[in-house]
Amino acid sequence: MPEVAPPTVLAVQNDPDSGPARFAGWFADEGVRLVVVDGDDVPESPRGYDGVLLLGGG
C-alpha cells in the first residue's frame, strides 16, 4: 500500500511579528505539514496545498 503524504497547509505571514505560533504546534500534533511564506512571496496558485492560513497584517 503506497504511503500517503501528510496534508500541507500554506501559511502566509503578512507581518514578521505574526507567526504561526500555536497553529504550528496544533498542525504538527495532527501530522499536518506547515509551509510559512512571507506575504510578498505568496505563490501564484494554492495548487498543491490542502489549506491556506492567513496570518496578521490587518
Assessment of whether the complete model's pTM goes beyond 0.75: yes
Nearby residues of 41 by Cβ (< 8 Å), 6 or more positions away = none
**The amino acid at 30:** E
Confidence at residue 58, expressed as pLDDT on a 0 to 100 scale = 60
Average pLDDT score over the chain: 93
50 occurs within a structural domain = yes
pLDDT at 57 over 80: no
Confidence at residue 47, expressed as pLDDT on a 0 to 100 scale = 96
Structurally, how many domains does the chain consist of?
A: 1
In the predicted model, what is the mean pLDDT of residues 6-33?
95
Range of the domain at 16: 9-55
